[in-house]
Structure 1
Amino acid sequence: MRQASSLRGKRYGEVLLITLGADSEAPPQATVYNTFPLNDCPAELWSRLDAGALAKEHDAAAALLNGPRYWLMDSVEKDMPGEPEIVNFGGIDMIRQATVKLTSMNPAPYLANIVSRNAVFVFDTGATVFELVDPAGGTWVMQTWSQVLDPALSYDDLAVLGDRLALPSGWSYGAHVLDEQLRIDTSTQDAQVLQDDLTNSYSLARRAS
């Protein structure tokens, strides 16, 4: 396992290359390429990326531009056997990091996607975490905040973000300080990840008891 630390607040971007299932019953799948730790998703180059051109160039059904984003975990432990696969997208180097089974070509907010990422996300004691709680009592911890829809969204906005979200019935949003370390361990199992309606991303941390 390799560890990256001091992540909170670090900027990155992603390109997702989507392939369709072998039949109409199979969900689309995305291969995720991430700028971290190669660069901080330079704004000038990122603004020039063309999703349609990238899809054509890489023989994908579609490409999604996911960023810029900022990490909220404090460190990541990741199983990365062998040499990383690095791909250049419009002048931005990115590492292949995960695969995602999408609920659809355009996943709706508050619906979980299955992510194979072989990683442990670590939130330190004393750190603030921002959470969704679903109607069944499951807890989803924000792993990244997004400037995809709101380019001005900042860390300082997150504590009261619930006032802006169009939460489905039975969902709630809140923030609190951890009194012990939180580890979201998906090193040997798939992660469940969803986005809110501002495209901030959350990992399932605790299922309902």
Structure 2
Amino acid sequence: MRGKRYCEIILTKTISSYAVYNTWGLNDCPEQLWNKVSISAVKKETGSSFVHLNGPRYWVIDGFKNTSLINPAIKTISGIPMREAGILHLSLIDLFKNKPYQSHVVDRKTTWVYQADKPVFELIDPNGQVFVMQSYSVQKYPQTMNTLTQLGAKLQLPKGWKFKTGMLNKPETIQAVNNKAVVVQDNFLNTYQKASHDFLK
């Protein structure tokens, strides 16, 4: 699963919740289709007042368990088959600010698996909370799995935040506690999920 490509389209659900549609398990978000997707066309097709295109992205997890979709029904958006994988809770103010290093809650039933002897990438906030990268983005900057190790020198970290990378000594998992995942994005649009502890200690 690590290194596999996918895309997401985020649509309005209610005034403060947004449906996250994901291509994972259906297709790898074909370049020729994704390049033709436009926000205006998706708004027209879905009737959604807000649309966010999130991708292409690549997984930095090795697998998952005890994981299920919000809705397994396939919805084709701009010619790309997708399924509803999560519900993002966000106020309108946060939505329009869309700042990096702000935590958001996503309703989803997921447990990410990280294998031993594989690299992990962590953000640690000023309170010591640890967020582990689940996927990286090529939407804003060209990135590969190999360039992620150099992120520490590139990220514009807020005061008190740290970036760490290293190899896992043992397998680890991150579970969405009570089916709620707390996630942050860095300024390269890479996504991290809050973990119960530092994997690199």
List structure 1 runs of 4+ shifted beyond 4 angstroms: none
**Distance across 2 between alignment mates of 1:80 and 1:143:** 17
Q: Deviations over 1:69-91 (max 9, x none)?
A: 00011001244379712111111
Instruction: Kindly report the root-mean-square deviation, in angstroms, between the aligned alpha carbons of the 2 structures.
Output: 1.8
Q: Which runs of 5+ in 2 are unaligned?
A: none
Shift of 1:131: 0.5
**Distance across 2 between alignment mates of 1:81 and 1:167:** 32
Aligned to 1:8: 2
Aligned residues of 2:122 and 2:133 also touching (Cα < 8 A): yes
Q: Deviations over 1:126-172 (max 9, x none)?
A: 1110001111111110000000101x211111111011111000011
**Distance across 2 between alignment mates of 1:93 and 1:78:** 23
**Distance across 1 between alignment mates of 2:133 and 2:118:** 12
**Distance across 2 between alignment mates of 1:79 and 1:163:** 34
Shift of 1:115: 0.6
Aligned to 2:46: 58
Aligned residues of 1:78 and 1:187 also touching (Cα < 8 A): no
**Distance across 2 between alignment mates of 1:146 and 1:32:** 16
1:22-171 maps to which residues of 2 (within 5 A)?
Answer: 28-80=16-68, 84-103=72-91, 104-106=94-96, 107-150=98-141, 152-171=142-161
**Distance across 1 between alignment mates of 2:155 and 2:112:** 24
Letter in 2 for 1:156: N
| TM-score normalised according to structure 1 size | 0.88
Q: Percent of pairs identical after alignment?
A: 35
Number of equivalenced pairs: 195
| TM-score normalised according to structure 2 size | 0.91
